[in-house]
Amino acid sequence: MSDLLLTDCRLATMVPGGAPFGAAEDGAVLVEGGRIVWAGPRAEAPVDKPVETHRLGGRWVTPGLIDCHTHLVFGGDRSGEFEQRLNGASYEDIARAGGGIVSTMTATRAASEETLYASALTRLAGLKATGVTTVEIKSGYGLDRDSELKMLRTARRIGREAGVRVRTSYLGLHAVPPEHRANRAAYVDKAVDDILLAAHAEGLVDAVDAYCEPIAFSVGEVGRLFDKARALGLPVKLHADQLSDGGGAALAAKYKALSADHVEHTTEAGVKAMAEAGVVAVLLPGAFLMLRETQPPPVELLRRHGVGMAVATDCNPGTSPVASMTAALNLACVQFRLTPEEALAGATRVAAQALGLGEEAGTIEAGKAADLAVWDVERPAELCYWLGKPLLHRRYLAGAAA
């Protein structure tokens, strides 16, 4: 790949400890072999040979945004359940009546891999248009071996062909499928000892996830899955304390999870455990909005105890049909009272940590992948301010315009 110099730009490097947003006015970025080799003031750029130069007209450049929690691959949609909730039904009511995740399971099982890929691209287009260069994609809507593998293969294909980096998560314990309702232990056995092993053998799994709630899976059941993941050398993540304080944050801390996600009902004890274990809190304001929840995550406790806060879309068919990363940033600020700098860090530097990519992505500095977003804004806070306005000028993935 030819060398590249981005110049005549302003940098929001998101490197902590300096100016707000890690800002550098009149900056430049030098890229070689798809990686950043230098970033800083334009006058100091160490260019000693001809390079391809992109002059960016004073635009702001940030790290490419990272959506670290999505369910991007699924069949069908659940707009009917959206109507039910607006007419008074709760998420728990719908789930217990056979809707929710299980209704998406039915559509996902029926869909071909090609259909899943094509439908995921329509949602991915919204993420890419809002600056995303890395996306995490979970399974968890197949709930049997063939369908879970089909979802994960589709996610891998997206990473190969669709102009983004993809990290996959095997969401092994998401819901109990109807055929196992009379014997949920048999399903847990299958998810842990059969499907995970098959997915890992195919190289389809970057992390292992689970849904720990009274309407989903217990601490003990999730522990079994996480023990198997640990034996396979796979990191874990957890849907934790979204609807109740079920001890999810403490469980995530016990297993030194990459992240605990949602965490609306996490107590101070759970926050302290996360801090001690280095677990990132992934905040998902789209689900909070769509479910009309009233208990926000304990943001002040997370700040006080030094827990990193990532922000993600939770793009899914039931509780967060959000396909815009900048919308998620806006909602994180408006609903959860994050500052714009915290929110943008949550979609770059901290989101990279939540995927185990802290050494690879999330800041503009030497050694990182040259995954960058160029914006038509006058200040970085605009990325959290506008709701629906097109702001992206260009994305770079490994130094190539994408």
pLDDT for 374 equals 98
pLDDT for 104 equals 93
151 and 130 both lie in a single domain = yes
Whether 319 has a binding-site annotation, put simply, is yes
Whether 91 has a binding-site annotation, put simply, is no
pLDDT for 103 equals 87
pLDDT for 228 equals 98
pLDDT for 49 equals 80
**Beta carbons within 10 angstroms of residue 387's beta carbon:** 12
151 and 39 both lie in a single domain = no
Domain end, chosen from 316, 331, 354, is at 354
199 and 296 both lie in a single domain = yes
Q: What is the mean pLDDT of residues 216-242?
A: 97
Whether 115 has a binding-site annotation, put simply, is no
What is the separation of C-alpha 254 from the centre of its chain, rounded to a whole number of angstroms? 22
Whether 330 has a binding-site annotation, put simply, is no
Using DSSP, state whether 26 is helix, strand or coil.
strand
Q: What is the mean pLDDT of residues 319-340?
A: 97
Confidence of residue 80 (pLDDT cuts 50, 70, 90): confident
Give the list of residues 6+ apart from residue 278 with CB closer than 8 angstroms, or none.
256
Confidence of residue 2 (pLDDT cuts 50, 70, 90): low
Number of domains making up the chain: 2
394 and 376 both lie in a single domain = yes
87 and 223 both lie in a single domain = yes
pLDDT at 91 over 80: no
CA distance 101 to 95: 7
128 and 274 both lie in a single domain = yes
269 and 376 both lie in a single domain = no
pLDDT at 26 over 50: yes
DSSP for 313-328 reads: ----SSS-----HHHH
Q: Are 180 and 173 in contact (CB under 8 A)?
A: no
pLDDT for 215 equals 86
Using DSSP, state whether 91 is helix, strand or coil.
helix
Domain end, chosen from 335, 354, 373, is at 354
Confidence of residue 1 (pLDDT cuts 50, 70, 90): very low
37 and 123 both lie in a single domain = no
CATH number reported for the structural domain that contains residue 237 in this entry: 3.20.20.140
Out of 95-109, 202-216, 334-348, pick the least confident: 95-109
Q: What is the mean pLDDT of the chain?
A: 96
pLDDT for 209 equals 98
Give the list of residues 6+ apart from residue 179 with CB closer than 8 angstroms, or none.
none
137 and 258 both lie in a single domain = yes
**Beta carbons within 10 angstroms of residue 91's beta carbon:** 22
Out of 92-101, 102-111, 130-139, 153-162, pick the least confident: 92-101
Give the list of residues 6+ apart from residue 303 with CB closer than 8 angstroms, or none.
309
Reported as a single tens digit per residue, the pLDDT across 259-291 is 999 999 999 999 999 999 999 999 999 999 998
What does pTM read for this prediction?
A: 0.96
Out of 16-30, 40-54, 232-246, pick the least confident: 40-54
pLDDT for 92 equals 78
Whether 78 has a binding-site annotation, put simply, is yes
pLDDT for 99 equals 78
CATH number reported for the structural domain that contains residue 387 in this entry: 2.30.40.10
Confidence of residue 167 (pLDDT cuts 50, 70, 90): very high
Q: Which domain holds residue 35?
A: 4-63+363-401
Q: Are 72 and 137 in contact (CB under 8 A)?
A: yes
Give the list of residues 6+ apart from residue 232 with CB closer than 8 angstroms, or none.
196, 197, 200
Reported as a single tens digit per residue, the pLDDT across 58-77 is 999 999 999 999 999 999 99
Q: What is the mean pLDDT of residues 221-233?
A: 98
Q: What is the mean pLDDT of residues 373-399?
A: 97
CA distance 111 to 385: 38
250 and 159 both lie in a single domain = yes
Whether 174 has a binding-site annotation, put simply, is yes
Whether 241 has a binding-site annotation, put simply, is no
Q: Where are the alpha helices (DSSP H) in 180-294?
A: 184-190, 196-201, 219-231, 248-254, 268-277, 285-290
287 and 144 both lie in a single domain = yes
208 and 167 both lie in a single domain = yes
**Beta carbons within 10 angstroms of residue 200's beta carbon:** 17
